[in-house]
């Protein structure tokens, strides 16, 4: 026999029916609904149903960081939130997302980690890393680029197609892994560029948006992204943030996607 569901919410009527079954039997203890006795019983047990409903809400909703609302400030205080990186107003949904992110975060130094952090904040990014020219490894005039399949190949200053290491022409305007193997200072290896491809869009949602506080659509600037990545980047590196490819967010009154 399966274990009973410990989260079943019982109403005041459920408690009244249970109490009715415990009353003595006889003419002095009428069971019909319009009797004075049952009216008193249902009045007494209504508060028990309200109490259990409230307890169930705290147990099932407020104990989950993904859905908590009333206890959200307590969750945030225990996990060191709100993060000082988030200077713009945050909706309840944004605060819940930040809480879950703080609780589940496993640090790393790979590009996949930082791309994932940006995605959790609502941004789409790509990352370019640099290094200097190495004798016996690179060639003069070498301008190899890592990229995807092209419709319009990139060309070098002599009009020649640029190929990636597997021999595929690189698409025009495509971001390169090593844009140029030019001679440069060794410090080049300590820089990497974060290309922000899309702005964070926060739509007003019922049960998470606050009337009079949250707009229909908030187009987020990347101050929070810059702050978080600069905090978690390898200590010997510097990040360059590139917004040249930022996509147009469109008409904010066009409706939610």
How confident is the model over 74-102, as a mean pLDDT?
87
- 195 Cβ contact list (under 8 Å, min separation 6): 125, 126, 127, 128, 175, 242, 244, 245
pLDDT for 60 equals 85
pLDDT for 147 equals 36
pLDDT for 170 equals 57
Least confident of 1-5, 51-55, 238-242: 1-5
pLDDT for 90 equals 79
pLDDT for 242 equals 87
pLDDT for 179 equals 47
How confident is the model over 52-81, as a mean pLDDT?
91
How confident is the model over 206-226, as a mean pLDDT?
69
**Residue 127 or residue 89, greater confidence:** 127
Least confident of 29-43, 180-194, 216-230, 236-250: 180-194
Bridge partner residues of 196 (DSSP): 125
pTM score of the predicted model: 0.55
pLDDT for 188 equals 76
pLDDT for 163 equals 63
Predicted confidence (pLDDT) at residue 251 exceeds the cutoff of 50: no
Query: Where are the chain's structural domains?
Result: 12-60, 110-242
Phi, psi of 243 (to 5 degrees): -110, 15
How confident is the model over 42-71, as a mean pLDDT?
90
Structure tokens at 85: 């990186």
Structure confidence at residue 212 as a pLDDT band (50, 70, 90):
low
Predicted confidence (pLDDT) at residue 153 exceeds the cutoff of 60: no
pLDDT for 254 equals 39
**Residue 135 or residue 32, greater confidence:** 32
Nearest CA among 196, 186, 195, 191 for reference residue 130: 191
Rounded to 10 degrees, the C-alpha dihedral 206/212/216/221 comes to -110
């Amino acid at each position: 026999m399966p274990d009973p569901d410990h989260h079943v919410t019982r109403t005041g009527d459920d408690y009244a029916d249970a109490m009715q079954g415990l009353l003595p039997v006889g003419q002095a203890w009428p069971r019909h609904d319009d009797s004075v006795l049952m009216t008193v019983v249902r009045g007494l047990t209504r508060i028990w149903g309200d109490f259990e409903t409230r307890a169930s809400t705290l147990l099932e909703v407020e104990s989950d960081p993904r859905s908590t609302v009333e206890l959200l400030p307590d969750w945030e205080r225990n996990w060191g939130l709100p993060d000082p990186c988030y200077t713009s107003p945050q909706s309840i949904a944004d605060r819940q997302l930040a809480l879950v992110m703080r609780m589940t975060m496993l640090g790393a130094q790979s590009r996949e980690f930082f791309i994932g952090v940006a995605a959790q904040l609502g941004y789409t990014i790509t990352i370019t890393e640099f290094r200097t020219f190495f004798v016996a490894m690179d060639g003069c005039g070498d301008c190899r680029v890592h990229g995807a399949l092209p419709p319009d190949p990139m060309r070098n200053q002599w009009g020649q197609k640029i190929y990636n290491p597997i021999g595929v022409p690189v698409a025009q305007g495509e971001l390169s892994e090593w844009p140029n193997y030019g001679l440069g200072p060794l410090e080049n290896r300590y820089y990497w560029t974060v290309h922000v491809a899309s702005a964070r869009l926060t739509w007003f949602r019922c049960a998470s948006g606050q009337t009079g506080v949250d707009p229909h659509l908030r187009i987020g600037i990347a101050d929070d992204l810059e702050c978080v990545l600069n905090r978690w980047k390898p200590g010997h590196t510097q990040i360059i943030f590139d917004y040249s490819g930022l996509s147009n967010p469109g008409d904010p009154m066009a409706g939610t996607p």
